[in-house]
């Protein structure tokens, strides 16, 4: 038996998912509020398609999104390469999305590029994606195609959202 919840009133509904073929869509009507909604029975993955555990890329730095009226505190990992930061929406091109409803944060707002030098030194730079409201490093508005090197403790502002940058190997207080 599988339990699902009504998206409107959160009423629990039980049904036997083994009675239906995988991949099939089912329509339910909530007995409490009479809301109709669909679910899809997921298809099982073949054993040869199950991905093997891969070594994850090391986190080189962190962006701490500070709490504000639009969302809660979040920790965003920064990996080697380009980390596109933006608002999380369906189909976003941001690979480091922020969960927010802040309309002043674009879906691809800014980019933090992390590079590992041969000396094992990590260098991170910030640039605007470009965005509609701009990207600030401290009080400086980054210009078109302008890049700025980041250091631990730097404050980045995108829209009404503030983030604090820190390298992963340095302690955050």
**pLDDT exceeds cutoff 90 at 19:** no
Q: Indicate if 28 and 68 belong to the same structural domain.
A: no
- Note whether 81 and 161 are same-domain residues: yes
Same domain, 137 and 71: yes
Rg (CA), the chain: 22
Range of the domain at 142: 61-167
Strands 122-128 and 110-116: antiparallel
Is the confidence at residue 53, as pLDDT, over 60?
A: no
Give the percent of the chain with pLDDT over 90. 49
What CATH number should be reported for the domain holding residue 114?
2.60.200.20
- Residue 16 is classified by DSSP as -
Q: Is residue 156 a part of any domain in this protein?
A: yes
Confidence of residue 50 (pLDDT cuts 50, 70, 90): very low
In a domain, 160, yes or no: yes
Determine, yes or no, domain membership for 52: no
pTM of the entire predicted model: 0.66
DSSP state of 150: -
Query: In whole numbers, what is the pLDDT of the chain averaged over residues?
Result: 86
Any domain includes 173: no
For the chain, give the percent of residues with pLDDT over 70: 88
The domain total for the chain is 2
Residues 38 and 67 in one domain: no
């Amino acid at each position: 038996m599988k339990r699902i919840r009504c998206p409107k009133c959160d009423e629990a509904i039980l049904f036997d998912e083994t009675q239906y073929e995988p991949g099939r869509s089912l329509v339910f009507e909530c007995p409490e509020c009479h809301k109709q909604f669909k679910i899809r029975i997921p298809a099982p993955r073949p054993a040869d398609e199950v991905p093997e555990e891969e070594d994850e890329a090391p986190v080189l730095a962190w962006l701490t999104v500070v709490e504000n009226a639009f969302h809660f505190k979040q920790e965003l990992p920064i990996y080697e390469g380009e980390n596109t930061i933006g608002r999380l929406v369906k189909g976003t091109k941001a690979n480091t999305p922020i969960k927010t409803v802040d309309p002043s944060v674009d879906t691809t707002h800014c980019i933090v590029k992390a590079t590992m030098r041969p000396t094992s030194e990590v260098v991170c730079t910030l640039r605007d994606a470009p965005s509609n409201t701009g990207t600030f490093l401290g009080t400086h508005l980054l210009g078109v195609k302008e890049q700025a090197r980041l250091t631990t403790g730097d404050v980045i502002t995108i829209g009404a959202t503030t983030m604090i940058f820190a390298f992963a190997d340095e302690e955050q207080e």
